[in-house]
Amino acid sequence: MKFYNGRWEKKMGVHVYCPREIYEYEIGRRAFTFIAPDSHIGHKGMTLDGVNLTFRVTVPHSEVFRIQMVHYMGASDKDPHFPLDIQEEDIQVKERPDCFVLDSGEAQLRIYKENFRIELFYAGKRRTVMGEEDFCYIRTEDRGLLYEEFSGPAYMRGATGLGVGECIYGLGEHFGPFVKNGQSIELRNDDGGTSSDVSYKNVPFYISNRAYGVFINHCETVSMEVGSEQVEKTAFSVKGEKLDFFLLPGADMKDVLMKYTDITGKPGKVPDWSFGLWLSTSFLTNYDEETVIDIIDQMQEKDIPLRVFHFDCCWMKPFHWCDFLWDKETFPDPSRLLQALHDRGLNVCVWINPYIAQASELFMEGVREGYFIKRENGDVWQWDKWQAGMAVVDFTNPAAKRWYQNKLAGLLDMGVDCFKTDFGERIPERGVVFFDGSSPEKMHNYYSNLYNEAVYELLRERKGEKDAVLFARSGTAGGQRFPVHWGGDCFATYEAMGESLRGGLSLTLSGYGYWSHDIGGFEDTSTPDVYKRWVAFGLLSTHSRLHGSNSYRVPWLYGEEAVAVLRHFVRVKERLQEYLEEQARECHKTGIPVMRAMVLEFPHDANCWYLDRQYMLGSKYVVAPVFNGESRAEYYLPAGKWTDFFTGEVRTLDNGKWFTETVDYFKIPLFERMEDCI
């Protein structure tokens, strides 16, 4: 959120209070606390009629600093809160004449007494600085009289310095520019497709190519100004009287991600079978048992290996989403059908969401038992967006969670293997009450974690950890514990391919380990040209699914060559299967994503800082999809030795180099990084 008009003037009604000096402090065993007034105190009389900010600094994990800044300590702080792995260390504080120095391993924080500022160091090198105007308590719609009752919104703001050549990444799955510099971003989950500034997955964590990260520990909407208000600052603000954030410096960007996922959770394990090809019925297509069998038969006849078959929404009756009951008109004997698919060596996925339509058999049961989000007057919150009269399951109610899980358990008993957990973004945040009293504003984003966790937890109990997997759309910080996530509703164009990849690279720089997208695009129907290029991109992502909206994504609808291209790239991915399994195990252990931006692997190569049209698949392979109809491949290889996956050609580069070449549909720039790569 922007509070200034230019560098000097504040917006009308905005008053900003910043710490000017440390006035009083206490060094405890686990915390360094101090108060910082908004003016320099020359005598005791100056302690009257002013704003005081209280700071608490701790070491929640080795080489990580947590800063909590409070204006009014009596302000309520309702759930939810991110579940964090906190292992607070004894704090090491040295007092110098001008500052306090806090050390943890190679990380150091210097907090200056006068002309207040905080500097973050790692291995003796300064990573970033936060000046006195970077910590603010802000009142809006305010006449500036502190002794008058204040009713307008108040905010807490923090900011880190943005150096020359510094790039900021992450903040969840955002489809605009990969480097976030210059952007204003509202971290608020919503269902908006992939072609706007709205995002399904917002994560209050950013990472810099200067090898530090910042995790803003707030579930509610966080407003980001990345060099977009003050061009030398990455600023973040939240409503209320408290601000809580973590500073995570590291040896490199990988080290930062490891520390962040130490705190918020490592990406979950995924089944080996999940790396195979997933095929969907698509969203609005007319399909029944005969259609499903025919599609699978044709895939087999065309020698295209298939691993997972997905039933999208219309396995249930329209107006009944979700009642978790098969539409008997189209699927008279679902248990028999699912067994037939298993006999063919397929796993089965079905679509679900956390909304219960009024026509559903479950609706009145949920109303009677109090399983839905309610209005403040006690009525069930309902609306007609998506399904008529739908309500939203309240996962803060343990009984509602068990009820929902029990309905899904019946599907598992029938033969379903996993679930596509769609939606979870349009959660009401005003005028509603959650069972556990959680703040609706905080719950808006966090709901996605509760929803996905409920389903993932059931799968882990019933299938075991090695076979539990979702195909999820919504998420926030910590959501990486419930994989896999896909990019949502994209169009069937090259532009949508590009924006999808930017979203995926941003997400995997936000702690998520795996990422997928709808091959061929979701909305509309692509040209055969786009489809074939998207097939190569999709089969060289961590997870690969053919899925669309109102038309099928089976290859024969795009021509015989499309059939051959799909078969070819499924075989390519099969050759990489063991490698992907190895990378997934490493991802679960360390938090380093399987699909990753070039800058993560080559942080010192300035050419990689802005690369958003290619990526690393694990630690060894560069993948550069073709994003144009001219068969033109454009890609960059950093210094080192690289082997072309398809031809075996070896390229040894003393310096990084750009390449342009023409490739047919059976080729994509895919280069293996050799052991002695620089």
Report, as residue numbers or ranges, the catalytic residues: 422, 425, 489
* Beta strands 242-249; 212-216: pairing state: antiparallel
Burial of 433 (0-12, 13-18, 19+ CB in 10 A): middle
Closest C-alpha to 216, from 175, 260, 164, 152: 260
**68-to-54, 73, 74, 114, 242 alpha-carbon distances in Å:** 8, 11, 14, 19, 7
Whether the link from the prior residue into 484 is cis, omega within 30° of 0, is yes
Instruction: Compute φ and ψ for 573, nearest 5 degrees.
Output: -65, -35
Residue tagged 């559903």 (tokens):
360
Distance CA 540, CA 549 (A): 22
Count of C-beta atoms within a 10 Å radius of residue 107: 23
State the distance between the two ends of the chain, measured CA to CA, in whole angstroms: 42
The one-letter code for the residue type at 311 is: F
Dmax over Cα atoms in the chain, in whole Å?
88
Distance CA 324, CA 409 (A): 10
532 Rama class: left (phi>0) / alpha (psi -120 to 50) / beta: alpha
Helices (H), 415-480: 440-463
Distance CA 35, CA 46 (A): 15
* Beta strands 212-216; 183-187: pairing state: unpaired
The one-letter code for the residue type at 399 is: A
Closest C-alpha to 380, from 309, 454, 432, 315: 432
Distance CA 103, CA 284 (A): 58
Distance CA 229, CA 214 (A): 18
Instruction: Compute φ and ψ for 138, nearest 5 degrees.
Output: -125, 130
Task: Compute the C-alpha angle 553/555/556, nearest 5°.
Answer: 120
- Which tokens is 170 given? 């992450």
CB contact at 8 A, 191 and 423: yes
DSSP-assigned letter for residue 20: -
Closest C-alpha to 166, from 606, 477, 503: 606
Rg (CA), the chain: 26
User: Residue 591, SS3?
Assistant: coil
Count of C-beta atoms within a 10 Å radius of residue 376: 11
Distance CA 662, CA 668 (A): 10
Distance CA 28, CA 292 (A): 66
DSSP-assigned letter for residue 302: T
- As a residue count, the chain comes to 678
CB contact at 8 A, 537 and 625: yes
Nearby residues of 9 by Cβ (< 8 Å), 6 or more positions away: none
Distance CA 280, CA 380 (A): 34
